[in-house]
Amino acid sequence: MIHNRTVRLRARPVGMSKRDDFEITEEPVPEPGDGQFRVRLDYVSLDPAMRGWISGGKSYVPPVAIGEVMRSYSAGIVEASNHPGFQEGDAVTGLFGVQTHAVSDGSNGVIKVDTAQAPLPRWIGGLGMPGTTAYFGLLDIGQPKPEETVVVSAASGAVGSIVGQIAKIQGCRAVGIAGGPEKCRYVVDDLGFDACVDYKAGSLAEDLKAACPNGIDVYYENVGGDILDTVLTQMNVFGRIPVCGLIAHYNNTEPAPGPKNLRSVLVNRLTMRGLIVFDFIKRYPEAAEALGRWHADGKLKMREDIRAGGVDAFPDVLNLLYTGGNLGKLILDLRD
């Protein structure tokens, strides 16, 4: 009998989630029925959106219910199959949840991936949902043109690292904003951005101005708060702001104050537009083709920050996202 270890939501967190907001359970895995397959999950993607998924408010997806397995993208290997499209040994990713095993009919966003092309964890990182988000957010909503300046916050992370590199591929000046000198060094030296500003150094406005001598045409927003307030003052006329994430707000217990410099949107005729990656689902193959090609050509560098500890470590590893403890795509390793 195979046992499944799962992380289930026990309570809706207030502020940053705590271990007690989750419970670890162990239960037998059902045999796959007709048209189903069983996956052994090796890696779980930790995503900032998880904090929103366990909140009760209205969002773009229903919240994870109390008692339900925590929602996540995960990657693993098919162990048994009664599904014509999936064979034993296939590597797959999908919304399988934070658990060691899942039985699926293939409908929960399951994709077969090629581990000869890239290691399994990368398919839930730069070659998976975060890379796809960067691709559509920057190219469709940001619409960068050669020689323009693109600024991205959370620049060393899963989405931001890809945004800046795609900006370079488009012939733009790519400037990152990240927390601390180590992350900024990585963004410039390893990823090839033109500059990176450490927002924790205490001189964001001056440092950003020095890094963006021609102003900012596209600001790819991952953070919100003070960083948005500062960037707004340096936007060029007809600039674009894809609003991909607002991680500085996700653990707030009170509504965040509005942007201080909204006047910039008016006087500079800026476009701010939110995006959810699911909006582009019909065009995922386009992103997969481009990301795969750039990755194979060495134009897109990717880094995974893989943490050990299995499902028991999930609550603590998740919070690294909100304290800046990760460098690269944060992933939990479920293998023993």
Ligand X SMILES: NC(=O)c1ccc[n+]([C@@H]2O[C@H](COP(=O)([O-])OP(=O)(O)OC[C@H]3O[C@@H](n4cnc5c(N)ncnc54)[C@H](OP(=O)(O)O)[C@@H]3O)[C@@H](O)[C@H]2O)c1
Site residues (vs ligand X, CB under 6 A): 47-49, 130, 133, 154, 156-160, 178-179, 183, 222-223, 244-245, 247-248, 275-277, 321-322, 324, 326, 329-330
- Give the nearest distance from C-beta 271 to ligand X in angstroms: 16
Cβ neighbours of residue 112 under 8 Å, at least 6 residues apart? Answer: 86, 90, 91, 92
On whether the CB atoms of residues 31 and 80 are closer than 8 A, the answer is yes
SS3 content of the chain, % helix, strand, coil (to 5): 35, 25, 40
Q: How does 201-235 read in b/e, with b if 16+ C-beta sit within 10 Å?
A: eeebeebbbebbeeebbbbbbbbbbebbbbbbebb
- Give the nearest distance from C-beta 44 to ligand X in angstroms: 13
Give, as one character, the DSSP assignment of residue 302: -
**Residue 74 or 268: which CB sits closer to ligand X?**
74
**Residue 267 or 281: which CB sits closer to ligand X?**
281
- Give the nearest distance from C-beta 238 to ligand X in angstroms: 23
- Give the nearest distance from C-beta 171 to ligand X in angstroms: 24
- Give the nearest distance from C-beta 242 to ligand X in angstroms: 9
Give the DSSP letter string of 19-51: GGGEEEEEEEPPPP-TT-EEEEEEEEE--THHH
Give the DSSP letter string of 133-179: HHHHIIIIII---TT-EEEEESTTSHHHHHHHHHHHHTT-EEEEEES
Residue 7: both structure tokens together:
């992380």
Cβ neighbours of residue 297 under 8 Å, at least 6 residues apart? Answer: none
- Give the nearest distance from C-beta 158 to ligand X in angstroms: 3
**Residue 44 or 49: which CB sits closer to ligand X?**
49
- Give the nearest distance from C-beta 52 to ligand X in angstroms: 8
On whether the CB atoms of residues 60 and 276 are closer than 8 A, the answer is yes
Alpha-carbon span 149 to 147, nearest angstrom:
7
